[in-house]
Amino acid sequence: MKKARVLLAAPNLLVNEGELSRIEPPMGLLLFAPLLQQDGHEVLIKDFALDGWDTLTPFDLKNKRYIKGATEEYIAKTISDFNPDILGISVLYSSLIDSAKTVARIAKKINPKITVIVGGNCISNSVVDYKFYLADRKNSGLPDYITHFEGEDFDYAMTGEAEYPFKDFVNGIINSKDISNIPGLIKKIGEKKYKINPAKILHDLNLLPRPARHLVDMEAYFNIGHFHSSKSRSKRVLSVMCSRGCPEKCTFCTTPEVYGQLTRWRSIEHIMDEINTHVKEFNIGEIQFNDDTITVNKKNLYSLCKELEKIGLPWCTPNGTKVNYHQKEQYQMYKAMADSGAYQITLACESGVQRVLDNIINKRLPVETIMPAIERAKKAGLLVHTFWILGFPGETREEMQQTIDFALQCGADSFSFSVLAALPGTPIYRQVCKENLWWDGRESFNSLRSSLLKVDGFDSPHEFEKFVYDANIKANLILKEKDPARFAYKYGKNVTEKSLMKQT
């Protein structure tokens, strides 16, 4: 069996001027690599945002947006030097698609025979929307093609949980075998026509390998220190996912569509093998669990906490956990987390208005459960960070102000008020397309600080962005006024307004 040279790439970032960019090792690529190596393939992982981190290339000067990361010359040299047979590009967000197309274009210019395949959440979500278009061609308002798969330099795309299908793809391409039935594979068969294979769920997550962190420059990520959490205890962070899937159906979130509504956990032994090995190998100072719903399975969480006690490292949950899980035993759950090293939990509140939660977000969350959850977490010894989203279609300006007022009184330690980003693959995105709710037409750029959608009560995106910015500043200064010692414990000393915004 022939062996392939495979370049796995994460593209450059598209950023706003002055905005803090977060970066951590590309988990998907770290899982692909060892499976390919098991079959004897040569693998190179390149994060083109990490390489050239301090380089900004103008992209849209009118809106003060830049490409952050490696130059095109560097990308070209990397591809030319490695000379891959297959180039796999991971695209998590729609804001990365232009950079991904640039990498593909450069690769094809160097060697047209390189097979280029693109994947990641962004691609999976674009396919979801395309299927909705096919079901209602006249009225959906959606594009009549897979938006993020367009471009002559992408040969294939892959959707869903692609670790094992991608290995089959590489083996098939390099050995000229039939790849037509590989789960999740997409191929163009004409203009705006595709062969789309259904993706499969990986039910047994213990089949996943230990992430190949040794194949990336972990020290570079540590030196930057901009991992997922808004404020880390250490720059030497280990990002871990224990589970996949979410039982909720929030209209702004893509997780249930990509990973399903059944939450699947790796075994505790499997998780701790990764943690124990890499804590020692990379001298880790903090663990961040990037699960979407780490508190949904209380039994597994307790088992994890018992093992984390033995390590003695601080840890947190950067993603927003559900507020009202296990209410009768919520304090005990939070206490177990704190006793095992957790210093902060993030609660996904989203809105302080029940109508918005019920009728717009479809979030099964009674408003009256938010404050008690915050109180229990704080009593258990945790800092509490909260997520809030403003600007949903159908949400009034008065309701947005009610959410801000509610948040200011909820007792949390810190707050992230975000501008709604209509993510492809979500019901919100499809509503925005159908009703044409964009300020200036459809754009590929999504940011938690940039408004793309028309918002009730505001005349421009800049007016709304300032509204959200001011809410963040006001909310995140409450702790400094009420409890300076706790504020210093969370942020350290000499925190400026600018640095505070970057940390929240």
| Domains of the chain (ranges, CATH numbers) | 5-196 (3.40.50.280), 227-503 (3.20.20.70)
pLDDT at 169: 98
CA-closest candidate to residue 8, choices 39, 37, 191 = 37
Nearest to 390 by CA among 429, 354, 416: 416
Name the pTM for this structure. 0.94
pLDDT at residue 236 in the model: 96
- Would you state the pLDDT for residue 448? 55
Nearest to 231 by CA among 67, 343, 127, 115: 343
List the chain residues with pLDDT less than 70: 230, 441-449, 494-504
User: Which secondary structure element, helix H or strand E, spans residue 10, and what is its range?
Assistant: strand 5-10
pLDDT at residue number 368 = 98
What confidence score (pLDDT) does residue 147 get? 87
- CB atoms under 10 Å from CB of 152, counted, come to 10
pLDDT at 125: 93
Q: What is the DSSP string of 402-454?
A: HHHHHHHHS--SEEEEEE----TTSHHHHHHHHHT-BSSS--S---SS---B-
The distance in angstroms from the start CA to the end CA of the chain is 51
The pLDDT value recorded for residue 441 is: 65
As a whole number of angstroms, the distance between CA 258 and CA 124 comes to 7
Residue 296 has phi, psi (to 5 degrees) of -70, -35
